Copies of this chain bind each other. A is one copy, B any other.
């Protein structure tokens, strides 16, 4: 019989992706052992995030301000919009530190199987944003999955009349990758997209 407070903390922690009941129990013991250096600051940070973080009404990013700090940053190029599926993908692109434009977070991909249509995603707001003018390129940074590519083609179609170039990420050999271990599809795409040295 474990105390109610501990049981409650375990069952809530076990709901986080990546933590099961066993690792949640281990995490709780760690939290109680480090209550001042970890449990209290973490509880505070979590309450603050739950309270303050909102979705940017322009691009769909998460931030404490709306428009988000990326949309509000005058140092970023508003003429280039990078379209991503989710906020996690926006973070991934930001970590590369090689993109200085703005973003548009779709909130998922089109999926006939799961019944996700264009109006369930932030596609209408993307179309409106492009038609409002001032945008010179739309980069589709979507997953190389069936749903990701379907969504990319759909968006390219919808934006066809706007006169704005739509690009997608290059496919090819991952940096550090060995040809021997590469799947056929990627190797074939890299061969087709070969470039002069």
Interface range on chain A (Cβ under 8 Å from partner): 35 or more
Cα-based distance from A62 to B9 in the complex (angstroms): 13
Chain B residues lying within 8 Å of A1, measured Cβ to Cβ, are 69-70, 73, 94
Contact residues of A between 76 and 112, Cβ < 8 Å to B: 86-88, 91, 94
* Distance, CA A159 to CA B61, complexed state (A): 63
A99→B182 CA distance, assembly (Å): 54
Contacting pair B26 A49 (CB below 8 A): no
Interface assignment of A52: CB less than 8 Å from any CB of chain B: yes
State the number of copies, please: 2
| A15, CB-defined interface residue at 8 Å | yes
The residue on B at minimum CB distance from A16 is: B27
A113 within 8 A of B: no
- In the complex, whether A146 has a CB less than 8 A from a CB of chain B is no
The interface residues of chain B lying within 8 Å CB-to-CB of A53 are 3, 5-6, 32, 35
A positions within 8 Å CB-CB of B: 1-3, 5-6, 8-9, 12-13, 15-19, 23, 25-32, 35-36, 38-50, 52-53, 62-65, 68-70, 73, 86-88, 91, 94
Q: A18-B26, A47-B47 are in contact. List 17 more A-B contacts (CB 8 A).
A: A3-B53, A3-B69, A6-B62, A12-B42, A13-B42, A16-B31, A16-B38, A17-B26, A17-B30, A19-B27, A29-B88, A32-B50, A35-B49, A35-B50, A39-B46, A39-B47, A44-B47
